[in-house]
Amino acid sequence: MCGHLHSAEGALYLSQESEAPMTRSVDESIRLITDTFVPRISNQAAEDRARLFSLEGIIAHPTLSDVPFDAGGCWAVPLPRTHGRYLHGFLFLADWNGTILEHVEDRENAHRAALDLLLSWYANNKTAPGSCEMSFHDETTAQRSLQIARLLDNYPGTLPQEALTDIGEMVRLHLSLLSSSSFYAGNNNHGMFQDIALLRLATSRMGQELTNVERRTELRMLASRRLEQYFTSCFTEDGVHVENSPGYHFMVSRYLRDLLPVVDLLNPSSSSELRNIYSRAERYATHIIMPDGYLPPLGDTKHERVRDISHRTTFGSDEFLYSVFQGRKGTPRGQIRLFSPVQDMLFIVHNGMMQSLIGCSLKRDITRTTTTMRMISHCSCTAGVPWSWVNQDLMVTTIPTH
């Protein structure tokens, strides 16, 4: 598909690729793994939103206001950050990916329309800071890179000859940004998305044409090292995600699980440590689910029933299933002794008696090795007694074992 960059450079890189079938296999494997992170929505509402562009030149959002394309004028429209992220991250292509880009009767015209949108963005954003605040936002750039890679890899037929130069420059720009230490968001979830996008774009067919084997290996290993550093630092020794939010804990644990095959390919010596982190994260997830099957609304976590959302498949042990399905599946979870906190995160001490739990919090300036604790509350956990309450501005959560 992307063997259409008719240049000496492209020919040289393709020649080097033919001498390295093992590298090509690794690239293909990583491409398949990371492509699962590209957002895709497949329902009638998504299709209706996607078709609005061809019918009315509208970039539609599920809940926020629509944005007229306006011959590319949309890229300079000042928008709130959430809306700007949606537009400049090309997250609206999630609607297209699961509908018109897959339909046989639509896919050729839809791919050309999506490509023209990307090239229109690039014409207005060839260098930072770009046409508006969110043009080169760290995570927004990662999301856009994922969409670029997916679109170019799935483009039907050949890429338009007249657009090859701009396409190549656009991909080079994003590879350069994602691999730059000054652009890297750091040890956080934005940095994680940047590394996923770097892996996807570098191993795309266009990425392979624009890089030689040595450079692509450097990019893959850079992303892998940064991901390993992130995952080993974002969980406590007890397997609790440091964001103090059960929802974040589940989200990052899922990304860890899905990226383990990449680490297996690129740096198998790190696989064991990361799998142990995932295992400890499952222990915490099993016990943080409330007796009614919902997540506690701690931090920015939504009060949602786990079995109704994607979190239900993040882990797979029988004890986790027992918590998700309120004892209807799986096997009873064991006793929970202690989860060490980060900052002022709550943790639970179980004293060995099923009816007695103590909610505690470390003082903010106390280190994790200190045993001094401030008692907040105590309750007797019996049938019909509420299991959570608010003490001033601090929610205390007790999690009974079954």
- Using H for helix, E for strand and C for coil, what is the string for 67-105? EECHHHHHHHCCCCHHHHHHHHCCCCHHHHHCCCCCCCC
pLDDT value of position 299: 82
**Considering Cα of 230, then 232, then 233, then 234, what sign does the dihedral take?**
positive
Q: What is the mean pLDDT of residues 92-114?
A: 97
Q: For residue 314, what are the contacts with CB-CB under 8 A and spacing of at least 6?
A: 250, 253, 254, 257, 285
Tokens of 230: 């992130």
**Considering Cα of 309, then 67, then 69, then 167, what sign does the dihedral take?**
negative
Helix (H), strand (E), coil (C) string for the chain: CCCCCCCHHHHHHHHHHHCCHHHHHHHHHHHHHHHCCCCCCCCHHHHHHHHHHHHHCEECCCCCCCEECHHHHHHHCCCCHHHHHHHHCCCCHHHHHCCCCCCCCCHHHHHHHHHHHHHHHHHHCCCCCCCCCCCCCHHHHHHHHHHHHHHHHHCCCCCCHHHHHHHHHHHHHHHHHHCCCCCCCCCCHHHHHHHHHHHHHHCCHHHHHHCCHHHHHHHHHHHHHHHHHHHHHCECCCCCECCCCHHHHHHHHHHHHHHHHHHHHHCHHHHHHHHHHHHHHHHHHHHHCCCCCECCCCCCCCCCEHHHCHHHHCCCCHHHHHHHCCCCCCCCCCCCCCCCCCCCCEEEEECCCCCEEEEEECCCCCCCCCCCCEEEEEEECCCCCCCEEEECCEEEECCCCC
Q: What is the mean pLDDT of residues 262-285?
A: 94
The band of 265, judged by pLDDT with boundaries at 50, 70 and 90, is: very high
Contact 125, 131 (CB under 8 A): yes
Q: Tell me how far apart the alpha carbons of residues 15 and 369 are, in angstroms, rounded to a whole number.
A: 56
pLDDT value of position 336: 54
Q: Tell me how far apart the alpha carbons of residues 148 and 118 are, in angstroms, rounded to a whole number.
A: 8
Q: What is the mean pLDDT of residues 243-269?
A: 93
Contact 353, 380 (CB under 8 A): no
Place of tokens 């063997």: 3
Contact 87, 79 (CB under 8 A): yes
Q: What is the mean pLDDT of residues 241-269?
A: 93
Q: What angle do CA 121, 132, 115 make, to 5 degrees?
A: 10
Q: Tell me how far apart the alpha carbons of residues 174 and 260 are, in angstroms, rounded to a whole number.
A: 24
Q: What is the mean pLDDT of residues 225-252?
A: 92
DSSP bridge pairs for 241: 235
Q: Does the structure show a pLDDT above 80 at 255? A: yes
Q: What is the mean pLDDT of residues 120-139?
A: 96
Nearest to 345 by CA among 243, 255, 256: 243
Q: What is the mean pLDDT of residues 244-248?
A: 88
The band of 63, judged by pLDDT with boundaries at 50, 70 and 90, is: very high
pLDDT value of position 56: 96
Q: Which amino acid is at 50?
A: A
Q: Is 235 left (phi over 0), alpha (psi -120 to 50) or beta?
A: beta
Place of tokens 């939103």: 49
The overall average pLDDT reported for the chain is 81
Q: Which amino acid is at 189?
A: N
Q: For residue 39, what are the contacts with CB-CB under 8 A and spacing of at least 6?
A: 91, 93, 94, 97, 143, 146
What residue segments make up the domains of the chain, in order of their start? 8-233
- Say what the pTM is: 0.80
Tokens of 379: 């309750």
Contact 1, 205 (CB under 8 A): yes
Q: Does the structure show a pLDDT above 70 at 36? A: yes
Q: What is the mean pLDDT of residues 50-70?
A: 96
